[in-house]
A and B are shown apart, each in its own frame.
Chain A
Amino acid sequence: EVQLVESGGGLGQPGGSLTVSCAASGFTFSGYVMGWVRQVPGKGLELVSIISGSGTTTYYADSVKGRFTISRDNSKNILYLQMHSLRAEDTAVYHCVKSPFWNGYSYFDSWGQGTLVAVSS
């Protein structure tokens, strides 16, 4: 059974940094695109970033480009999202997601419960 468990959310300062992580299990982690989708509570969904199975290819939403960095450790089955220059509009639940593909744009067949990131002074 696929399991995606996020951690590392919390309160961040405007202009500050936070890193969220996702521990994956139940599948061959290195074989699939992984990503982060965020959701403002009570609102819709936004894809933030995705990374290829090998970790060599990354993509970002325009809203976070240059501020967020996605990475993965295939030896530990962990996905990361480093968030810098945080803004109030980054406040959301961040879901770790798995694609059924090794590379490219995708839909997402497994989702974590999410971790809340709140940006406020």
Chain B
Amino acid sequence: EIALTQSPATLSLSPGERATLSCRASQSISTYLAWYQQKPGQAPRLLVHGASNRASGIPPRFSGSGSGTDFTLTISSLEPEDFAVYYCQQRSHWPTFGGGTKVEIK
């Protein structure tokens, strides 16, 4: 099973700041990585697939990058609605999820 490690566990930032979230895979997964956003009481929402492809309706302030074992989700300028938990997921092998990064208001 491929393990995904997300860091940091919590990111404390202010609206308008840049957020950089990391996801590291235990072995190479090419670009078979997706990112999701989950707000309290809601289901996860797909943000990015194929490591860098924004899902339908996702604003351009969200961008994904990386390949192999190291991946990054960047939110260029945090909006109030972006404070949430973010998960990465790989589909190279049996799909697994990272433990999540909580982006909280500083």
Contacts and interface: CB of A to CB of B under 8 A. Distances in A.
Interface string B86-102: 01010111111111100
Nearest to A6: B43
A108 B95 CA distance: 10
B103 interface: no
A114 B42 CA distance: 9
Nearest to B92: A105
Nearest to A61: B94
A47 B96 CA distance: 7
Nearest to B35: A107
A45 B91 CA distance: 14
Interface string B32-48: 00100000001111100
Nearest to A50: B95
Contacts of B34: 107-108
A61 B95 CA distance: 9
A62 to B, nearest CB: 8
Interface in B1-58: 1, 34, 42-46, 49, 55-56
B43 A111 contact: yes
B43 A107 contact: no
Interface of A: 44-47, 50, 59, 61-62, 95, 105-114
8 contacts: A44-B99, A45-B44, A45-B87, A105-B92, A107-B89, A107-B91, A109-B46, A109-B56
